[in-house]
Structure 1
């Protein structure tokens, strides 16, 4: 059987257990033996070469230098990695080596107008569009899908040119924010790292977003594509 490693934990606001539980049946039905761990220190384990796919949902937190080195080595040797939202794009902020591996880091999720703020997480729930990149429409992760709209956190991410961008989102420039023009960021991207593949989907703040048909399809396809 192929081996999948689910690493979940970190900030509880992203419901890492419930979120990953949504996708474990998909992995099992696809023929994976699923192992679940609650710490990134598993990446330093000598058994990492046996892993075909890592599914990570671990927002913020810390990982030791040895763990990050083990993760980078495993992916370079052919292990795939998939994650969504802060569980992959806002993990281990203190590790530049992790950021280099993933190729994108959460910077912010812009808020509503000041008069619409209530002091809770909904202050950052905005209606926005995820636009598939036409030139990448034949990629297995997005083939046959269409651009779609969500009302949730819209991730502004900092990325580099090694990312193969499959979908983008455009942040407006309302008067209450200090930037002066619209900013388009990657929303879904893939990345080749040695012999391994990485797939990142930035929507996924809450269970209802993960259950959105297109978001769920992107994640399930991303796992399939990234796997060894």
Structure 2
């Protein structure tokens, strides 16, 4: 996929992996919609105004998500790549976990992904794709869901977070099969330790193996089809899941 003039919709992009990913796609010539809470933290001059749309909102707010998708279509005319990046985590022993803490992680990490993906598909899924004579799709589109190494192996004191990220992988596999006729690829990228504010809060004093910019590079290469996982491809401490 030539990303120039394509449109990328990124959730949780006010900081960390999401913000670095937005910067990477802008740098490569794409249009970007940032959908996130805390967008007031983004410097006004961080992006060219004609190629970025910043929308404040919660991934669990269907109306706000729908308005942002519509605004994206109005400004850029297409929605080609969705990156479901928004997520929360809390480190705590399972027996001490409160029900409201469980619900918060389920809502953001899973329900939010469900809502955003459904709303984005209204713009992305235009029926059977046009194909070249060799069978390749003319206008490739993709959904990239951010999982975690915790979703593959489970991490003590991150039982609920691990459960939600494991569910992201299963959701990705199932949705990939449903959308295959639409020509929309669905891929899960599952990073290992990344030096975000969330990682620093969860693992005080520990050093991460990767930076948010490292993940942004992987997401970009995945979106353009340069990094294509087979059943499961391990790249350093990055993991990809795809049917």
- Fold shared by both chains (TM-score > 0.5): no
TM value normalised by structure 2: 0.41
Structure with greater helix percent: 2
